[in-house]
Structure 1
């Protein structure tokens, strides 16, 4: 069966600054979109459709496992003022897909704001692992993202969402203007999780509100493919001692009858990344190959 992979890029438009005249705004905005479809062929999953419009790019590296991998990236190394990115994907019955990013999502100064949206549908018996690198918002950044995932009966999901304080070493610690993130996971029309993070200095100075923590994270595990991983993580995280002034604060909560949500606040981005990948140490065996092995 022939595998169709289509990747289309358009010329990158001029990047707007905060001084861009109003008449130039429409022309300087970058609206990138991507369409992905994963399908099982024999004992492996293939990328049936990979269609991207600039500034979004899709990378589809080969691996030794049975799952198909796709990494997203954007022209210019990050999001600039006015960017609006959308990703729409389907994972067909019995398929296993990994979607990640080529690196941290950097959001630059953006008076008008940047936006990204993910919409996914996961069929019966299928698995989606959505595990992007951390989001890093620079001084003056305005960023809104939404993630909407529809799970069929018997579908499984691994989701990781990480946020860091920004360029702390350069004195840009929680210095963005606005950060909003919506996460919705539904199964058969029933919400398993429906939440929104909102960090805005209008509600109080962010460095003071976040205290000693420089990074926040959420990991969600849902579905039958993750039964043993959920059990092990619930026991491990639930038994962690509560230590005053700890550099890492974790929590774990059940999510319906076959789900788990883990939270972490860390004093460094490195500790957040290390902890989240330790929690997902089962992922290589689930996919048949290690998506982080060649990335340090």
Structure 2
């Protein structure tokens, strides 16, 4: 099934509003902004489907107007069901000058024989703030499914003023690569990553605070690296989906504490 979702924001009197939205089933969009006068817009991306099915083709486009601030939430974990030929998702994000986006989706849960590809292209025009998260689990661990999926492939390209600044190529093929080997997952079952770009602040100054927070977390290992542009990337390995999801939201809060886009945790979800 081909499904479309388009979101466009704009700024009016210092407050971001939803200028235009368009979606086809199974997508829905809900405005969950609690303080309508605070400035940033909080939208919940909802889906009536139980998960991504064989042949699904999701096409998502998000456009942020100049100086608008959007925090895009997801409703629940993204289940990837068993497939023969696979499914895919393409996401295009456009940030005009001064715009800011926080997007930390719930983890992807690939079922046995799942085959999924996602491509994310993010275009920044300058003076932007971007917090972009991603998380993958080993599968339905409590059902005895650990790395029984065929392939999970995620490519995220970030362009700054038309030039490619960052490419993250995340490929997991348990049937081909030994996920338990050194340099791979090394026995961990969940992995998360977070890209933080902020042309308005020296984001590397938050390195110590993020490192201090993560060093207090149990049963994880992590790394923090500087990016070729003003920003950092955080990678975490662990055993619990909720723990890593909360870690990403907390890191986002630490990184945006001194500016006007608060990171908001939409609630607790357990898997």
- Interval of TM-score (by shorter of Structure 1 and Structure 2): 0.7 to 0.9
Alignment match of 2:148 (pick from 166, 172, 175):
175
1:267 aligns with 239
1:53 and 2:21 are equivalent in the alignment: no
Contact 2:56 2:87 in 1 (8 A): yes
Query: In 2 relative to 1, CA 203–121 (structure 1 residues): closer, same or farther, beyond 3 Å?
Result: same
Asked whether 1:217 is paired with 2:188, we answer no
1:145-202 per-residue CA deviation (whole Å, 9 max, x = no partner) reads 1110000111111111111111111111111111100010110122221121111134
Would you say 1:231 and 2:202 are equivalent positions? no
Larger Rg: 1
| Distance in 1, Cα, partners of 2:239 & 2:86 | 27
Q: Supply the RMSD in Å over aligned alpha carbons.
A: 2.5
1:188 is aligned to: 161
TM-score norm. by structure 2 comes to 0.88
Residues 146 and 190 of structure 1, relative CA distance in 2, 3 Å threshold: same
Structure 2 gaps of 5+ residues are none
2: CA distance between counterparts of 1:290 and 1:203? 37
Report if aligned partners of 2:40, 2:69 keep a CA contact under 8 Å in 1. yes
Superimposed CA distance per residue, residues 82-130 of structure 1 (whole angstroms, 9 cap, x where no aligned partner): 1110111110101001112111111111112111111011011110112
Unaligned runs of 5+ in 1: 1-29
1:293 Cα deviation from its structure 2 partner: 5.2
CA distance in 2, matches of 1:36, 1:230: 31
Normalised by the length of structure 1, the TM-score is 0.81
What does residue 160 of structure 1 align with? 133
